[in-house]
Amino acid sequence: MPRKVNHGLDYDEDYDAYDDYDDYDYDYGADGNDYENDNGMQGDGNSSQQGTKVSRPRIWQCSICTYDNDESSLSCEICGIIRDCSANFDNNDKDKAIDMSKSSEASIMGKSNLTQVPSAPLQTEITSVGFPSKKASKSFGKASRDVEDATKSLASNLDHLKLNNNTMNSKKAPSRTPYKSEKWMFQDQEQGILSQLNLAIVGHVDSGKSTLSGRLLYLLGRISKREMHKYEKGAKEMGKGSFAYAWAMDESYEERERGITMTVAVAYFDSKKYRIVLLDSPGHKDFVPNMISGATQADAAVLVVDASVGSFEAGMDGNGVGQTREHAQLIRSFGVEQIIVAVNKMDMVGYSKERFNFIKLQLSSFLRSRGFKDSSVTWIPISAMENQNLVEAASDVRFSGWYQGLCLLDAIDSLQPPLRDFSKPLILPICDVIKSQSMGQVAACGKLETGAIRHGSKVLVMPSGDLATVRSIERDSSTCSVARAGDNVAVSLQGIDSGLVMPGGVLCHPDFPVRVATRLELKILVLDNAAPILIGSQVEFHIHHAKEAARVVKILSLLDQKTGQVSRMAPRILKAKQSAVIEVALDGAVCVEEYSKCRALGRAFLRSSGSTIAVGVVTRVPEPDL
Amino acid sequence: MKLVRRDLVPNGPGSVKVVPEEDDDMWHAYNLICEGDSVQAVTVRKVLKEKASGGRDAERVKLKLEIKVESVDYDKEGSVLRIRGKNILENEHVKIGQFHTLQIEPHRPFVLRKDVWDSMARDVLQQACDPSASADLAVILMQEGLAHLFLIGKSITATRSRIETSIPRKHGPAIAGYESALKKFFENVLQALLKHIDFKVVRCVVIASPGFTKDQFRDYLLLEAERRQLRSIIENKSHLILAHSTSGYKHSLKEVLDAPSVMTLIKDTKAAQEVRALKDFFNMLSNDTARACYGPKHVEVAHERMAVQTLLITDSLFKNSDISTRQKYIKLVESVKDSGGAVHIFSSMHVSGEQLAQLTGIAAILRFPLPDLEDIEM
């Protein structure tokens, strides 16, 4: 029953939040919000809106059964009596102030008043913007459950606040109160909505990625025959007849003329199990930064390999010419564990089994060395041009003779659904900004990493720090009312200057702003074939969709590969395959979070001279020296 | 810089009269003039005169002043050199001991008097007055949404302009937005080009970018030149060269200078030599770490063991007002030269010099490996 579930959830999360309390320093100026918990709950509510000290979790004694309850629970766990609280909590009542000195600890909260707690707006702000009645009815209509939820959260807020005045949405200070996720944020299990899967298509240049994508879209009916005809005609006119399917993805004149993909193209289609967002990436060496920006949204990847003689070898070339290696490395560094290797252009090698096995052998050892588990790699031979083994089993005799495995679409369906963090506050890294002249409004596109938004939600646009309201949410050219973690959407914003929204920024919850920094501490792994990194080396720093020029300021320590322990302090130089902790200074500010708190905002890549030299995670965001 | 008169004793006192001609010369003058030297030039000073009626009148008077230098200020962006010091020449308007700021301007001669003309200073003077052609190269380093315009001179690289715009991605309906944003970006770059590049001085213009942005820009440039009848571009069409770089950021400039097509143009110039030397250093570092070192302490230790084969040093280290440090480096340079090693003095205004400066400003390639350098604290 939903009631029970939520109950448990709240209990657990607040409890664990308290456990974490004991470990952390209460000065939250330095640390961000603690989103450590795996069960997904947020925020140790720490009050420091005014930088006040947080009190340790306290207990109150139930007057009936004398059980020592945690402060967070408003009703006694044993006997169920609601704690005597004179604060008639009213979501919209913001006038009461609370006195949270330690003296009130054991006492009944009768003497204290409720403050306008920052997290209360979490529940109320959505109401205040659009649907006051709806929300109120929602929270009150479901009778005691919501009442208790709210009271619990308010009570826990009380614990963490000292004297507070109305501090709604102070932009800079993140709220320390626990984040209360709404019921609408969780996915409706009942309705049988397909879950989302973001699939990145990567591989060496000319391996057939865009053609494959175009083919899939056509076969699944997303492109009409007429459109396909148009593409074919146009491609033939340009003398690029074989690129007809790729034109479905490469839409700009430049891309079509040169026959390559330059930026990540996004397309949507449905399979039996998932709603798939296809991210067709460029394979060309020069466009790897674009590929990074696109593939950062991926949950799973399809590595397209060209089976024809010579091309495969070129792709595997270790000296940086081959993109197969670099892409596989990058994909792994994005945290993608599941990968389908599509061996394309099988028609060029006559659907030879030997060739397929040869490629499989070569690549599997490589993928294993990169950290892909054998069980999460699927091998599918296909031919995009001939439409073999894509959505149905192969028809060509030579092929079906020896291959009885899954076709590509089935392989995609066999992927495990990724875990989504619905219950954390909103984080949406902005991939793209579309300015529509008609209404002077801005739309930010990207994939929601955590949390959820809906029509009317207030969001904070970082790095500028301005508030905006969600006007509409669009997914695959159709409006939807709610977007949850994992969805790739275009969010149309109101109330903000279009110059302030830019790719590389982040949309986040007003009370839980993402940090912006220019100096970062990273734990990196230097890749093979990388030039040595010295203090003062200038690199390009990529993180989610942002990129900046950066300089290595300090090399703090060298880490041992196997144990991860510090083996040497302050080495002079970092060579290939070494792992170290370094500090970088960026030319411009970017939105980051430590990797432990938010994975999507904590992964970083360092590039220099056209190749990726190091991959890493953000371990610490030092406070700026003011 | 034109040398008018030279009257000095090596490692002894002397004076020179020079006429600076271009931006590079400001930089050379900055390297030459140190605290304690005296500079004589014609300058303008605001003088207060008492009028007959008793009121004060401020008048700008042109006069010849000689000042004892106390501080030198070089403005990188504007290529302006300002020297502040006390007056030591008898003058009707300015008392001895009064402070004055001299501005060194192109095409105006000045006399520099030094107590000690050491080898460094003599080198700089010689380079400055060398009439051989300078690198005069303009480089437009771009990527989608970001462009830098550099003017590479003999010893300085000046960033003339930096253009940054946000260009939206292009899928579906937004394609029109992409095209127009790109066009606007190119237009801005074109304007910067017209403003800062003087085709009479600049020998050639290099357009570099990853991907195809350079081709797109070149096509745009030529098209617009035709349409708007921009004579300077149309005449100099043949001077446009395309090169590949890996990004639009400033540090990619060294890759551009390394490209064969560009290298042929600048191969005799200082800039090219610097780039090559630095590349050698990095190669050595990646191949055999113990044969390369950087940082003053490590280089000193290496030098004591007579291990230095090539010394790379930036001229900013010499600009220390502390005489003893300056002496120390000069001695280091001389002794490396004596022991048969090569010395490359990098101009810190060039990209490679900036990069070296990031690595503490001094580095060396060694004759034989010295693994125990690792243990010495930097």
3-state secondary structure of B272: helix
Q: Is A262 on the interface with B (CB under 8 A)?
A: yes
Contact B374 A572 (CB under 8 A): yes
- Separation of alpha carbons B16 and B28, rounded Å: 14
Chain A residue at shortest CA distance from B170: A252
The count of CB pairs under 8 A between chains A and B is 94
Contact B172 A477 (CB under 8 A): yes
CA B308: distance to chain centroid? 26
Contact B246 A535 (CB under 8 A): no
A572 vs B contacts (CB less than 8 Å) = 293-295, 374, 378
Angle at CA A295, nearest 5°, toward A294 and A297?
Answer: 85
- Separation of alpha carbons B134 and B266, rounded Å: 9
Of the candidate ranges A130-139, A278-287, A464-473, B30-39, the one whose mean pLDDT is the lowest: A130-139
| Residue of B177, B211, B295 lying closest to A262 (CB–CB) | B211
Best mutation target among A261, A286, A461, A587 (most B Cβ atoms within 10 Å) is A286
- Separation of alpha carbons A121 and A141, rounded Å: 19
Contact B175 A263 (CB under 8 A): no
The structure tokens 């050698």 sit at B280
- Separation of alpha carbons A428 and B203, rounded Å: 49
Distance from CA of A118 to the nearest CA of B (A): 35
Confidence (pLDDT) at A77 = 65
- Separation of alpha carbons B252 and A179, rounded Å: 44
Give the residues of chain B that fall short of pLDDT 70. Answer: 131-135, 169-176, 268, 320-321, 376-378
**pLDDT tens digit sequence for A400-412:** 777 777 888 888 8
B178 vs A contacts (CB less than 8 Å) = 252
Contact B355 A258 (CB under 8 A): no
B183 vs A contacts (CB less than 8 Å) = none
**pLDDT tens digit sequence for A82-103:** 665 444 443 333 333 333 334 4
| Residue of B250, B355, B357 lying closest to A549 (CB–CB) | B250
Greater confidence (B57 vs A304) lies with A304
Q: Is A351 left (phi over 0), alpha (psi -120 to 50) or beta?
A: left
Residue A131 has pLDDT above 50, yes or no: no
Residue A141 has pLDDT above 60, yes or no: no
Mean pLDDT (whole number) for A45-49: 36
Residue A143 has pLDDT above 50, yes or no: no
- Separation of alpha carbons B66 and B86, rounded Å: 8
Cβ neighbourhood burial of A617 (10 Å; 0-12, 13-18, 19+) = middle
The structure tokens 């113990």 sit at B290
Cβ neighbourhood burial of A5 (10 Å; 0-12, 13-18, 19+) = exposed
- Separation of alpha carbons B38 and B86, rounded Å: 9
Read off the tokens for B199. 């085709």
Average pLDDT in chain A: 71
Cβ neighbourhood burial of B302 (10 Å; 0-12, 13-18, 19+) = buried
Closest CA to B279 of B335, B212, B352: B352
Contact A432 B168 (CB under 8 A): yes
- Separation of alpha carbons A255 and A276, rounded Å: 24
DSSP string across B129-196: H--SPP--EEEEEEETTEEEEEEE-SS-EEEEEEEE-------GGGHHHHHHHHHHHHHHHHHHHHHH
B179 vs A contacts (CB less than 8 Å) = 252
Distance from CA of B378 to the nearest CA of A (A): 8
Cβ neighbourhood burial of B145 (10 Å; 0-12, 13-18, 19+) = middle
Contact B177 A434 (CB under 8 A): yes
Confidence (pLDDT) at A181 = 63
A13 pLDDT band (50/70/90 cuts)? very low
| Residue of B211, B286, B294 lying closest to A287 (CB–CB) | B211
Greater confidence (A114 vs A341) lies with A341
Nearest-10 crossing angle of helices A143-160, A120-129: 120
B291 vs A contacts (CB less than 8 Å) = none
B294 vs A contacts (CB less than 8 Å) = 534, 572
Is the peptide bond between A418 and the residue preceding it cis, with omega within 30 degrees of 0? no
3-state secondary structure of A138: helix
Confidence (pLDDT) at A130 = 37
Residue A348 has pLDDT above 60, yes or no: yes
Distance from CA of A486 to the nearest CA of B (A): 20
Contact A251 B378 (CB under 8 A): no
B168 vs A contacts (CB less than 8 Å) = 432-435, 503
Residues belonging to chain B = 378
Contact A502 B166 (CB under 8 A): yes
Contact yes or no for A78/A68 (Cβ under 8 A) = no
Chain B interface residues (partner A, CB cutoff 8 A): 166, 168-175, 177-179, 210-212, 216, 246-247, 249-252, 255, 282, 285-286, 289, 293-295, 355, 357-360, 374, 377-378
B275 vs A contacts (CB less than 8 Å) = none
3-state secondary structure of B251: helix
Best mutation target among B141, B184, B212 (most A Cβ atoms within 10 Å) is B212
B358 vs A contacts (CB less than 8 Å) = 535-538, 551
Read off the tokens for A111. 């003497």
CA dist list (Å): B229 to B138, B223, B232? 22, 10, 9
Contact B171 A251 (CB under 8 A): yes
B247 vs A contacts (CB less than 8 Å) = 289, 540, 607, 610
Contact A284 B171 (CB under 8 A): no
Confidence (pLDDT) at A231 = 83
Q: Which of residues 482-521 of A touch B (CB under 8 A)?
A: 502-503
- Separation of alpha carbons B322 and A76, rounded Å: 75
Rg, Å, chain A Cα set: 27
Angle at CA A550, nearest 5°, toward A545 and A552?
Answer: 130
Provide the 10 A C-beta neighbour count for residue B377: 7
- Separation of alpha carbons A550 and A586, rounded Å: 4
Strand partners, A520: A584
Contact A573 B360 (CB under 8 A): no
CA torsion sign, A396 to A402 to A404 to A409? negative
Confidence (pLDDT) at A555 = 86
Chain A residue at shortest CA distance from B256: A609
Q: Is A610 on the interface with B (CB under 8 A)?
A: yes
| Residue of B174, B246, B355 lying closest to A610 (CB–CB) | B246
Task: Please write down the HEC assignment for all residues of A397-465.
Answer: HHHHHHCCCCCHHHHHHCCCCCCCECCCCCEEEEEEEEEECCCCEEEEEEECCECEEECCCEEEEECCC
B251 vs A contacts (CB less than 8 Å) = 538, 549, 608
Contact A284 B286 (CB under 8 A): no
Residue A193 has pLDDT above 60, yes or no: yes
Contact yes or no for A604/A612 (Cβ under 8 A) = no
Provide the 10 A C-beta neighbour count for residue B281: 22
Rg, Å, chain B Cα set: 25
Does the pTM surpass 0.90? The reply is: no
Contact B247 A540 (CB under 8 A): yes
3-state secondary structure of A315: helix
Mean pLDDT (whole number) for A96-120: 39
Provide the 10 A C-beta neighbour count for residue B99: 11
A264 vs B contacts (CB less than 8 Å) = 169
Confidence (pLDDT) at A62 = 66
| N-terminal to C-terminal alpha carbon distance within chain A | 51
Distance from CA of B348 to the nearest CA of A (A): 14
Distance from CA of B168 to the nearest CA of A (A): 6
Contact B168 A284 (CB under 8 A): no
Chain A residue at shortest CA distance from B248: A549
DSSP string across A543-580: ETTEEEEEEEEEEEEEE-TTT--EEEES-SEE-TT-EE
Contact B169 A536 (CB under 8 A): no
Distance from CA of B32 to the nearest CA of A (A): 28
Cβ neighbourhood burial of A253 (10 Å; 0-12, 13-18, 19+) = exposed
Read off the tokens for A395. 């028809």
Contact yes or no for B125/B46 (Cβ under 8 A) = no
Strand partners, A290: none
Contact A573 B285 (CB under 8 A): yes
**pLDDT tens digit sequence for A470-529:** 888 888 777 888 888 888 888 888 888 877 888 888 888 888 888 888 888 988 888 877
Read off the tokens for A466. 């301005």
Distance from CA of A614 to the nearest CA of B (A): 15
